[in-house]
A and B are shown apart, each in its own frame.
Chain A
Amino acid sequence: AAAGLCPCRVLLARRGGALRALGGSVRGLAAGPETHFGFQTVTEAERREKIYQVFESVAEKYDIMNDSMTLGIHRVWKDILVHKMNPSPGTLLLDVAGGTGDIAFRFINYVRSVRERQLQQKLRHHQNLSWQEISESYQEDKSNSLGDSQVVVCDINREMLRVGKQKAQHLGYCEGLSWVLGNAEELPFDDDKFDVYTIAFGIRNVTRIDLALQEAYRVLKPGGRFLCLEFSHVSNPLLSRLYDLYSFQVIPVLGEVIAGDWKSYQYLVESIRRFPPQEELKAMIEDAGFVKVDYENLNLGIVAIHSGFKL
């Protein structure tokens, strides 16, 4: 009954999709290759436009919606990502589709605390120095609380960046942080620049994932690490049913009530179902040239972290 709405729509989508592909192939020659927007079939250009509009519309309420939909658990997922990254001071991070800055702020917090611990250890070794020498070393260390670490937040959407910058100001993040408007499929950066590349809940919205992965490979330094945090596929049948029920019945309602925007959140849950599962994404990452590609499921596959290295 209640969950029944979902499978019916999937059936309609699949049938409609085949018919449209036939008709669309003629139209497609002029309008561009066909792809999906949630359960709809659209051209690549239309998809990019629609996704831009979705994020423009949700930007202000993005964080509140994330907390409501995941009951705050998205914070834990992001914490796990940064812990897995285990950045040391001096790391240069590129956070793509970084929008409202969640990964960037966690990165800064992490390197700051690692740096503090480093300084404390240094102090312990300096206990045999004179008072003057100790206070001089305070000065030089204080001005470098991040240890030269830096994060570049890159996002295609102006609204998301605007909200991110506002948040940074509000929370007091200023040093080591840059905001760049850019497209994951065509990054405005030179080759071999970054130590780590992250994309958290962003790759699902990229139209040509293969291009984004190639770009990731290009801008990473040799030895650099690729990390992707994204919704993935749940194989456990019971959890899968509950997850579907929650996704399709509750999340669009939350979108309407909290953000006044049903359609964007309908798109969100549909796009999760459309995204390649763990193994397929792993293969795509390997195709881009990454090695030692692996993934870790969180919450039985609701979310997965994929990792790869550039040699």
Chain B
Amino acid sequence: RSGEEEEEEEEGVYQLYPGHIPTSPLQKALLTAGSAFMALYDPYRHDMVAVLGETTGCLALPNLRDKMKNHPEGYRILQERPRIRLSTLDMARLQGLPDGSLGREYVRFLEDNKVSPDTRMPPKFVDDEELAYVIQRYREVHDLMHTLLGMPTNMLGEVVVKWFEAIQTGLPMCVLGAAFGPVRLSTRKLQVLATELVPWAIRSGRNASCVLNIYYEQRWEQPVESLREEIGIFPPP
């Protein structure tokens, strides 16, 4: 469309991918502070969590990208750039897979928690096109993390997944989410979190190989347990 073309021309050297908004260091700093505040103030603002991840990921994202480059499967993912979206997934086929397989359990997770892979925000503030893909991949793989860890999408489940992701990716947004998420939990849940779930998440996170190096789209038939073992995730408590 001519409107978008003109916008790309306008940005000249700046706009690196569709949806990219170039930002100055000052703007990134303001965005970081603003999105952190807003994410805590209004937990329904998932877009703020996403923005926080983008503005603070400048160290962790290149790290993740290099981990992917140095791994055969991760390298292939970077080359082929697969996307997890309803339009690219064959839901009927996945539903038909045997119970306990990754595909079947993933679809079950989506249905049980009434979520869709299409609600992931595309990156805007990452100033490198490859890193933008890395963070996009991280977001799209998040639901698979839930499936592999066996955690639901309630506050408790999300916090546990955040702990796992914080260890795995080192993204400051995950660390902040892991640290501040529990603030809104009841004491009983906090206890379970602190005594069982978080230690398990940390152990698994440390033990596991990089979760972004798995080409999930080619492993739908693989049983979840076998995939867990392969990655190094301990069975959930």
A interface list, Cβ under 8 A from B: 1-2, 4-5, 9, 12-13, 16, 20, 27, 39-42, 46, 50, 249-250, 252-254, 256-258, 260, 262-263
One of B3, B22, B30, B124 near A253 (C-beta < 8 A): B30
Closest chain A CB from B76 CB (angstroms): 34
> Are A20 and B31 in contact, with the CB atoms below 8 A?
no
Closest chain B CB from A155 CB (angstroms): 24
Closest chain B CB from A250 CB (angstroms): 6
* 8 A Cβ contacts from B2-58 to A: 2-3, 6-7, 9-12, 21-22, 24-27, 30-31, 34-35, 37-38, 45, 47-48, 51
- Residues of A within 8 Å of B34, CB to CB, are 253-254, 256-257
> Are A252 and B6 in contact, with the CB atoms below 8 A?
no
Chain B: CB-nearest residue to A260: B47
Chain A: CB-nearest residue to B32: A253
> Are B7 and A257 in contact, with the CB atoms below 8 A?
no
Greatest chain B CB density within 10 A among A4, A39, A253, A263 is at A253
* 8 A Cβ contacts from B72-131 to A: 124
Q: How many angstroms between the C-alpha atoms of A254 and B25 in the bound complex?
A: 15
- Residues of B within 8 Å of A50, CB to CB, are 3
CB<8 Å pairs between A and B, sample of 24? A2-B26, A4-B24, A5-B22, A9-B10, A12-B10, A12-B11, A12-B12, A16-B6, A16-B9, A16-B12, A20-B9, A40-B3, A42-B2, A42-B3, A249-B24, A249-B30, A252-B27, A253-B31, A254-B34, A256-B35, A257-B31, A257-B48, A257-B51, A263-B21
Chain A: CB-nearest residue to B47: A260
- Residues of B within 8 Å of A46, CB to CB, are 2-3
> Are A257 and B38 in contact, with the CB atoms below 8 A?
yes
Closest chain B CB from A38 CB (angstroms): 9
- Residues of B within 8 Å of A20, CB to CB, are 6, 9
> Are B3 and A13 in contact, with the CB atoms below 8 A?
no
Interface digits, B201-215 against A, CB 8 Å rule (1 contact, 0 not)?
Answer: 000000000000000
> Are A256 and B51 in contact, with the CB atoms below 8 A?
yes
Known: A249-B27, A250-B30. 7 other contacts (CB 8 A): A2-B25, A2-B27, A12-B12, A16-B9, A40-B7, A257-B51, A258-B38
How many interface residues does B have (CB within 8 Å)? 25
> Are B9 and A1 in contact, with the CB atoms below 8 A?
no
Interface digits, B142-172 against A, CB 8 Å rule (1 contact, 0 not)?
Answer: 0000000000000000000000000000000
10 nearest A-B pairs in the assembled complex, by CB-CB distance? A257-B34, A2-B26, A253-B30, A12-B12, A5-B24, A2-B24, A249-B26, A257-B38, A260-B47, A40-B6
Chain B: CB-nearest residue to A41: B6
> Are A262 and B21 in contact, with the CB atoms below 8 A?
yes
Q: How many angstroms between the C-alpha atoms of A9 and B47 in the bound complex?
A: 27
Q: How many angstroms between the C-alpha atoms of A263 and B10 in the bound complex?
A: 14
> Are A262 and B124 in contact, with the CB atoms below 8 A?
yes
Q: How many angstroms between the C-alpha atoms of A75 and B86 in the bound complex?
A: 47
- Residues of B within 8 Å of A5, CB to CB, are 22, 24, 27
Q: How many angstroms between the C-alpha atoms of A173 and B64 in the bound complex?
A: 57
> Are A13 and B25 in contact, with the CB atoms below 8 A?
no
Q: How many angstroms between the C-alpha atoms of A144 and B53 in the bound complex?
A: 58
Q: How many angstroms between the C-alpha atoms of A256 and B55 in the bound complex?
A: 13
Greatest chain A CB density within 10 A among B26, B34, B35, B38 is at B26
> Are A42 and B25 in contact, with the CB atoms below 8 A?
no
- Residues of A within 8 Å of B31, CB to CB, are 253, 256-257
Q: How many angstroms between the C-alpha atoms of A258 and B11 in the bound complex?
A: 24
Q: How many angstroms between the C-alpha atoms of A258 and B47 in the bound complex?
A: 11
Q: How many angstroms between the C-alpha atoms of A50 and B1 in the bound complex?
A: 13
Chain A: CB-nearest residue to B22: A5
Q: How many angstroms between the C-alpha atoms of A25 and B51 in the bound complex?
A: 39
Q: How many angstroms between the C-alpha atoms of A27 and B1 in the bound complex?
A: 13
Closest chain A CB from B100 CB (angstroms): 39
> Are A260 and B10 in contact, with the CB atoms below 8 A?
no
Chain B: CB-nearest residue to A38: B10
Q: How many angstroms between the C-alpha atoms of A207 and B25 in the bound complex?
A: 34
Q: How many angstroms between the C-alpha atoms of A256 and B124 in the bound complex?
A: 11
Greatest chain B CB density within 10 A among A4, A27, A42 is at A42
Chain B: CB-nearest residue to A11: B12
- Residues of B within 8 Å of A256, CB to CB, are 31, 34-35, 51
Closest chain B CB from A45 CB (angstroms): 11
Chain A: CB-nearest residue to B25: A2
